[in-house]
Amino acid sequence: MPPEPLARTPLFATAGATLVAVDRGRPPGARHRVHGPYARIFSVPGTRAFTAWNLLGRLPMGMFGVSAVLMISAARGSYALAGAVVATGLAATAVVGPWTARLVDRHGQARVAVPAALAAALGSLALVVCVRSGAPAWTLFAAYAATATTPNTGGMSRARWAHLFRDDPAALHTANSFEQAADEACFMLGPVVAAFLCTALFPEAGTLTGAVLFLTGTLLFAAQRRTEPPVTARPSASRPLLRGNRGLGLVLAVFVCTGMLFGSLEVVTIAFADDAGHRPAAGVVLGLQAAGSCVAGLLYGLARPAGPAGARFPRCLAAMAALALLPLLAATTGGLLALAGALLLAGMATAPAMVTGMALVQGLTPPGRLNEGMTLAVTALLTGIAAGSATGGWCAEHLEAATAFAVPATAAALALLTAAAGRAALGAGPVTRGTDTDSP
């Protein structure tokens, strides 16, 4: 079913804390009263369906990295090799991802996401075959690099929200906060599920299960044509998106540093749990960090942040950098239990920084190239995650695992310094489409 024309989309009017949604296609006087910002955004027809299937397809994003590390380290006995393989796959995705996003913007989500997802799933299966058969190490790199066509399901979901609420900054802020919480929920549950499958069943179980869930969720998400953003003419499509856009370039540079935090933290935490003799608990411990961010993201969506996003962004990064020191202190002075608590607290500063940063990306990206802009943000994160995974894996193998927690702490500090150094490029906030500059 093609996207609904603008004349049939719901109009929203706010009366105090109560929202009245009026659908032009309904008889006069037919109204629905919706309470709360989250109930408000999910009252739009089709949003629940695309969100549900998107979450199913997005859950494996939190499984693949941990599954690959556990599978490869169990078969080859090397965290350095496992981290390097994961880093290679992420780097390949960072290169291919923007091209996939351009195709999405040009031809639509459904037409591009389906073949891209099929190709990526085949890459995951190839990795399992190579590990299982004892193939040479270079085949692991090649197989994981073949997953680079993985479509940015989170970005496509955010693009749908941005289209639906393009004239409603408050609702879009709530939707962006929900999406960040959804990301964190996937990275909270993903490592737990992956660690359980790889340790309780067999090392390849996590990757196989993730591939099935990813392919199923992506195909069913693509089938939800009702809320798919329409393909629009883009006269500026040939112009590089970052040309003359210093603000967007700065946000992407910060995301690279933030990705280094995520990537190194994952590998180092697994190594620390392994050294402590509690390898199966690694997924649970990593899940606590995502749990803190998930809760913070949902609460952030209920708030109405004061001031422009460009001014809030450095403050959010300062909180993230400060709390990123807690895992390092806990690992060097305590055990796995102390580390779990520190990761929970540290995760609470992640969501506000990511929500604000993603809002800046949306505001600094032309409307007809939103999938490309969101994918560039994910590409920046993946680039950082790749570097962080490789650096964290090397430090975990050649240094004490507790000392290696200095890598994510340093990455968080670099994110703050990068934003502070180029703060002027953000101006007073994003250049939003039809909204005021105080919108996030």
Q: Is the pLDDT assigned to residue 22 strictly greater than 60?
A: no
How many angstroms separate the CA atoms of 418 and 234, rounded?
Answer: 31
Task: Return the percent helix, strand and coil in the chain, to nearest 5.
Answer: 75, 5, 20
Cα(174)–Cα(51) distance, rounded to whole angstroms? 14
The answer to whether the CB of 124 falls within 8 A of the CB of 210 is yes
* Residue 74: partners with Cβ closer than 8 Å, 6 or more residues away: 198, 203
Report for 23-27, 97-101, 202-206, 292-296: range of highest mean pLDDT = 202-206
Element (H, E) at 32: strand 32-35
Residue 345 has pLDDT above 80, yes or no: yes
pLDDT tens digits, residue range 39-65?
878 887 888 888 889 888 888 877 887
Query: Is domain 37-426 classified as CATH 1.20.1250.20?
Result: yes
Q: What is the pLDDT of residue 107?
A: 79
Contact 404, 268 (CB under 8 A): yes
Per-residue tokens: 351 = 């969501």
d(CA 170, CA 359): 12
DSSP state for residue 348 in the 8-state scheme: T
The span from the CA of 12 to the CA of 384, in Å, is 39
Instruction: Kindly report which listed range (24-38, 267-281, 286-300) carries the lowest average pLDDT score.
Output: 24-38
Between these two residues, 27 and 348, which has the higher pLDDT value? Answer: 348
CA distance 375 to 101: 6
Ramachandran class of 12: left when φ > 0, alpha when ψ lies in -120 to 50, beta otherwise: beta
Q: What is the pLDDT of residue 413?
A: 92
> Is residue 286 predicted with pLDDT exceeding 80?
no
Q: What digits encode the pLDDT tens for the residues 211-259? A: 999 999 999 988 888 877 777 655 455 566 666 677 788 888 899 999 8
Indicate the SS3 state at residue 21: strand
Residue type, 50: F
Q: How far apart are CA 304 and CA 327, in angstroms?
A: 30
C-alpha angle 274-260-64 in degrees, rounded to nearest 5: 55
Percent of the chain with pLDDT over 70: 81
The answer to whether residues 409 and 327 touch, using CB atoms and an 8 Å cutoff, is yes
126 or 35, higher pLDDT: 126
What pLDDT does residue 151 have? 83
- What pLDDT score was predicted for residue 280? 66
| 78/89 Cα distance (integer angstroms) | 17
The residue-averaged pLDDT of 281-307 equals 74
Question: Which one-letter DSSP state was computed for residue 10?
Answer: -
Is pLDDT of 437 > 60?
no
**Which sign, positive or negative, has the C-alpha torsion 230, 235, 237, 240?**
negative
The residues spanned by each domain of the chain are 1-35, 37-426
| Cα angle, residue 109 at apex, residues 355 and 118 outer, rounded to 5° | 105
What is the pLDDT averaged over residues 112-138?
A: 87
Residue with tokens 């004349």: 7
Q: Quick one: pLDDT at residue 411?
A: 92
For residue 362, the number of C-alpha atoms closer than 13 Å in the C-beta half-sphere is 30
Give the pLDDT mean for 104-113: 80
